[in-house]
Structure 1
Amino acid sequence: MQEYAPKIFYTYIPSNSGVKKAIKQGRVLIDGVIAKTATWVKPDQIIELIDDPNKQPKVYKFNLEVIFEDDHIAVINKPAGITVSGNKFKTIANALSYNLKKSQQLDALTIPTPVHRLDNQTSGILLVAKTKTAQIELGKQFKNQTIKKQYSAIVIGKIIKTETIDLPIDNKPSITNFEVVKSFHSLKYDILSLIKAFPKTGRTHQIRIHMASINRPILGDKLYGNPETIHKGKGLFLCASKIIFEHPKTSLQTTIKINLPQKFTSIITREERRWNNYNS
């Protein structure tokens, strides 16, 4: 049985012992008949794997904005304030099967899987694999740093030029390029700046740490910002706004981008209006 077991089994059962266990549980069928460990598989026979009824996926019925979806991948717009994955029930990972269509590919994942992370308080583009092939191929692209990501952020203080920060994080090389989109006056903060940030490495909290290191913390950052200038009520002003990657099936360069979150445009409009009214 093991000699002929198709590779597709290892999408769901990643070890020989797991395959044997599934056979003993009667969850492997050969042409509709329950297989035994001694069953020989012949060419052109149909092998089926029955889902383990004791391992039903958790489904969090939470509506997500699906930006793009096909049979291999999906891209969602993650809202701020929810964790991508982990031990909690209310996660993006547990909400994906509620929002995405089941892949019809042979190597379809039982549960769609995010291939990278965003901080709980960070919103924006999240790339999801729907097949094992997509999961592996996108994982390689992240490892090889061929996936390009762009973030938008509002930081406290004025930024006048494009810069690169190469401050190590946890003794590991960490590089972030950023450029200013616009700076605007604020009665509370004096000046705020809307920037684009391009992380070249993927350290935890990298953009937040790097911007705080040059005394330009991201607005709403309670962890790395100045406690005296914390913006309360609207969370962290950091959004994953663009991603460029190679589609794992077609190999075509794929670009996904979103508009600035409404809270970004609202605070820019409000702060500029207040400043103008005060100085008129």
Structure 2
Amino acid sequence: MTQEINLKSEITATQTGQRLDQAVAELFPDYSRTRIKEWILAGNVFIDGIAITRPREKVLESQIVEVNATIEEETQAEAQQIDLDIVYEDDHIIVINKQAGLVVHPGAGNSDGTLMNALLHHCPEIEHVPRAGIVHRLDKDTTGLMVVAKTVEAQTHLVAALQAREITREYEAIVIGTMTAGGTVDEPIGRHATKRTHMAVTHSGRPAVTHYRVAEKFRAHTRLRLRLETGRTHQIRVHMAYIGHVLVGDPVYGGRPKPPKAASEAFIETLKNFKRQALHAVRLELAHPYTCEVMSWLAPVPDDMVQLTKALRKDTEEHPEDML
């Protein structure tokens, strides 16, 4: 299916001499520069009724610009009834508290049963939005808050806000090792040189910045609160591993159980049975793409991480000498 786009506006005096792609982006800010350039090259943008296919074409005051284009349905996934924990919804956005085990996009080994399949069932019109409105991702076994756009315009605004670092995303995590203070990891992330499903800190990667602070100390573990400036694949997991504090339960980056000395059997079993990375997107804040109102949501830490934290506290209380 396709969505018809029909736009019309007039070049202003201040836009005289601008490039066509720049002027059209200013006239119709709900659409990205990349999409507008594609429309120009495809002959979908008209000046005074004449199709212009050169993005660098200069425009003049009072010229009439029209866009007549279609947005192809990019979603190939099928709608499936899958339970979603919807924290907030209106005509423009959906905020979801994603459960562990839910993959965001269909892909190799996960052709269905994903968040995208669930969104298409919950909101069928979202099929007209690229990637079914998904703006950012959480890993399969990471829980917590995600925002989804219900319209192309909302998605364009939210993607731009992410790129401008105007959306706040905070996480709770439990890492291996005792950390004494918070800090910032500012290291680029890219594909691992030999393990293609892994990410790594690499000079050829894209900029990535993670801020973290200590929320609670245990004998051999630390509970952290983290805030992302960027949103690279596996960013928190890679950055914490890079500084020597792998997330508890992380199957990819080495979060194997490491119980402290003299730990009880019950505590050792709790660590062994925690089978996912201990990471939860706890807070999301953004300016609404339509009203511009600043909105904020909190998602309670899931029960498995709550129980892990209780076990860590109990172990620490049983060995107070190790905290001196």
TM-score normalised according to structure 2 size: 0.63
Q: Structure 1, residues 232-273: CA drift from partner, whole Å, max 9, x if none?
A: 443110111111111001011111111111111111112333
| Contact 1:183–1:192, Cα closer than 8 Å, also in 2 | yes
Letter of the structure 2 residue corresponding to residue 97 of structure 1: L
**Structure 1 partner of 2:163:** 143
3-state DSSP of counterpart to 2:215: strand
| Contact 1:156–1:218, Cα closer than 8 Å, also in 2 | yes
Offset of residue 221 of structure 1: 0.8
Offset of residue 90 of structure 1: 1.3
1:271 maps onto 2:291 in alignment: no
- Inter-partner Cα distance in structure 2 for 1:74 and 1:182: 32
Task: Note closer, same or farther for the CA distance 1:279–1:207 as it changes in structure 2 (3 Å cut).
Answer: closer
Offset of residue 59 of structure 1: 1.3
1:211 maps onto 2:240 in alignment: yes
**Structure 1 partner of 2:275:** 234
| Contact 1:138–1:248, Cα closer than 8 Å, also in 2 | yes
**Structure 1 partner of 2:217:** 183
3-state DSSP of counterpart to 1:6: strand
| Contact 1:162–1:179, Cα closer than 8 Å, also in 2 | yes
3-state DSSP of counterpart to 2:121: helix
- Inter-partner Cα distance in structure 1 for 2:208 and 2:319: 41
Which residues of structure 1 form unaligned runs of 5+? Answer: 19-48, 186-190
Q: Structure 1, residues 54-90: CA drift from partner, whole Å, max 9, x if none?
A: x996112110100000011000011112210123111
- Inter-partner Cα distance in structure 2 for 1:181 and 1:232: 23
1:200 maps onto 2:229 in alignment: yes
- Inter-partner Cα distance in structure 2 for 1:174 and 1:56: 31
1:153 maps onto 2:203 in alignment: no
Letter of the structure 2 residue corresponding to residue 197 of structure 1: L
1:90 maps onto 2:113 in alignment: yes
Deviates more, 1:269-278 or 1:125-134: 269-278
- Inter-partner Cα distance in structure 1 for 2:240 and 2:298: 23
3-state DSSP of counterpart to 1:124: strand
Deviates more, 1:263-272 or 1:65-74: 263-272
| Contact 1:145–1:201, Cα closer than 8 Å, also in 2 | yes
Q: Structure 1, residues 160-179: CA drift from partner, whole Å, max 9, x if none?
A: 21211112223222211100
- Inter-partner Cα distance in structure 2 for 1:130 and 1:5: 16
**Structure 1 partner of 2:199:** none
TM-score normalised according to structure 1 size: 0.72
Letter of the structure 1 residue corresponding to residue 6 of structure 2: P
| Contact 1:148–1:243, Cα closer than 8 Å, also in 2 | yes
The alignment yields a C-alpha RMSD, in angstroms, of 3.3
3-state DSSP of counterpart to 1:202: coil
**Structure 1 partner of 2:17:** none
3-state DSSP of counterpart to 2:225: strand
| Contact 1:66–1:74, Cα closer than 8 Å, also in 2 | yes
**Structure 2 partner of 1:249:** 290
| Contact 1:97–1:111, Cα closer than 8 Å, also in 2 | no
**Structure 2 partner of 1:133:** 153
**Structure 1 partner of 2:249:** 220
Offset of residue 112 of structure 1: 4.4
Task: Note closer, same or farther for the CA distance 1:110–1:268 as it changes in structure 2 (3 Å cut).
Answer: closer
Task: Note closer, same or farther for the CA distance 1:130–1:158 as it changes in structure 2 (3 Å cut).
Answer: same
The runs of at least 4 consecutive aligned structure 1 residues that moved more than 6 Å come to none
**Structure 1 partner of 2:98:** 78
Offset of residue 102 of structure 1: 5.8
Say how many residue pairs are matched. 231
Offset of residue 6 of structure 1: 2.4
Offset of residue 277 of structure 1: 5.1
% identical aligned pairs = 30
Offset of residue 192 of structure 1: 1.4
- Inter-partner Cα distance in structure 1 for 2:320 and 2:285: 43
3-state DSSP of counterpart to 1:97: helix
**Structure 2 partner of 1:6:** 6
3-state DSSP of counterpart to 1:83: coil
**Structure 2 partner of 1:22:** none
- Inter-partner Cα distance in structure 1 for 2:229 and 2:145: 17
| Contact 1:237–1:264, Cα closer than 8 Å, also in 2 | yes
Letter of the structure 1 residue corresponding to residue 223 of structure 2: L
1:169 maps onto 2:210 in alignment: no
